[in-house]
Chains A and B, each alone.
Chain A
Amino acid sequence: MICWRDAGPAGSIPAAPNPRLARMAWQRKHLLDIESLTAEEITTVLDTATAFKAVGERAIKKVPALRGKTVVNLFIEPSTRTRTSFELSEQRLSADIINFTAEASSLKKGETLKDTARNLEAMNVDFIVIRHSASGAPHFLARVLNAHVINAGDGAHEHPTQALLDTFTVREHKGRVAGLNVTILGDILYSRVARSNLWALLKLGARVTLCGPSTLVPRTFEQMGCRVTHDVEDAIRDADVINLLRIQHERQRKTMFPSLNEYTRLFGLTADRLRRTRPDVLIMHPGPINRGVEIDSDIADGERSVILQQVTNGLAVRMAVLFLVNGGKGPQEIAANPAAA
């Protein structure tokens, strides 16, 4: 027998509305960063994503919420998993999709980002999902265009949907975010994932520890309200969640540590180190994984790893973001540090 069971306590229909669902409506027209969101807005996205996750488990995974809308995936910087995830989310919401990649666009011929975007808008597109190597590119587009803009990663600045799906995965497994010890381990300096995660986790009340080589995890991050350590044992001992970040060769201007081997020896999550963590620690990684560098292969596939669940949750979170942003009519405050595009 097939049953349809969406979010909510298993086995019963909630008799009264879930108090968590009784909240302020989403007003924003864009999703540019996590920094400017309130804790309530983040919670709204997570709650909405819970409902969308259930849609993804149905036999018919498509809903007509964005029927007749056009989404442009403007990926000026290479990406496979984020783009695929956005594309599938858009398809499940019944939107029409255009994909742009840097190699195949006129940007190669010297067209500016503004002109490319204006041309797209002249074709009456409704959403622009942008990935760009320049921090602030999405904020810039949001100022010059009427379309809804969603940041799919801008430089080393933010990657809001990744942070939302990471937070969603934490909340799904731990039941809450507030009060948890979350350790982000790896290349923090060049990581937009780390910055967005940091904002989301701190806003929701988690205690965050950043750890990695001192060249990649400068003490200045302490100003954001988190703990910084360069001792991996200290960082993972009490962690409820360990989020591992990839060493980003492509974003490093020069080598920030002597060798990958040394990195693994000093900071890699090995079976030996895992034994000295809490037994219920959650191992996360936004991908792509460098097996044997930041994480042992066995741990990545092990029972504490939720790496593939993060991918599944990414769809639900991106559907939720597209859906919420579509309904958003309110003004969007542009973050204080404007575009460099």
Chain B
Amino acid sequence: MQRMLTRLAHEIAERNANGADVVIVGIQDSGVPLARRLGGLLAAIWGQPVPVGALDISLHRDDLDRRVAPTLHPTEIPCDINGRTVILVDDVLFSGRTIRAALDALTDLGRAARVQLAVLVDRGHRELPIRPDFVGREIPTAANERVRVELQELHGRDAVTLERE
């Protein structure tokens, strides 16, 4: 996983020559530790600290009616996003609905110059016209399979597993 993240960081650095404009924003909750790791790697590449934030999207979801009340996490962005390049980070890209909600939530915070999307795993099955800019690994899946990403910070180990329901 660390290799995947290093490669992602280099791709991000290549696309964004000027690191001073970039803010990394992880989607709560699995995207946040990934964003922090990417932020650390990018800080080393650019030789300057990179702001890292956390975004909660539960109030912007389109399926609030069909779920039991979700848990809210804090939204915490350490700098003004107006005019900056925001790199959204999440673990798995699936239907694209989470990213749709994240774009709405970001809009409420300001007008970013551009938004790019980095995901650890793209498992396909998009339901909306959304595509990632940076992908750690594409994993072709069946709709009834589940991709589980475990992270050291949240689950005590780094692992990506494919489960069949």
Contacts and interface: CB of A to CB of B under 8 A. Distances in A.
Interface string B99-113: 000001000111000
Given A58-B109, A64-B59, A8 B74 contact: yes
Interface string A9-53: 000011111000111011100000000000000000001100110
B105 to A, nearest CB: 8
Interface string B22-40: 0000000100110010000
Given A4-B76, A63-B60, A64-B60, A15 B153 contact: yes
B68 interface: yes
Interface residues of B, number: 33
Interface string A41-79: 000000110011011001110111100000000000000
Contacts of B75: 4, 6, 54
Contacts of B52: 13
Nearest to A4: B77
A323 B77 CA distance: 23
A203 B104 CA distance: 38
A51 B80 contact: no
Contacts of A4: 53, 75-77, 109
Nearest to A51: B72
B2 interface: no
B67 interface: yes
Contacts of A26: 68-69
Contacts of B109: 4, 58-60
B110 A326 contact: no
A8 to B, nearest CB: 4
Contacts of B104: 64
Contact of A51 (B64, B74, B108): B74
B77 A327 contact: no
B161 interface: no
Contacts of B108: 58, 60, 62-63
A36 B153 CA distance: 37
Nearest to B54: A13
Contact of B59 (A2, A15, A55, A325): A55
A63 B59 contact: yes
B70 interface: yes
Contact of A6 (B29, B33, B56, B153): B56
B154 interface: yes
B71 A21 contact: yes
A26 B53 CA distance: 28
A155 interface: no
Contacts of B70: 25, 327
Interface of B: 29, 32-33, 36, 52-54, 56, 59-60, 64-65, 67-80, 82, 104, 108-110, 153-154
Top 8 A-B residue pairs of the complex, sorted by shortest distance between their CB atoms: A327-B69, A51-B72, A6-B74, A8-B74, A63-B59, A4-B77, A25-B68, A324-B69
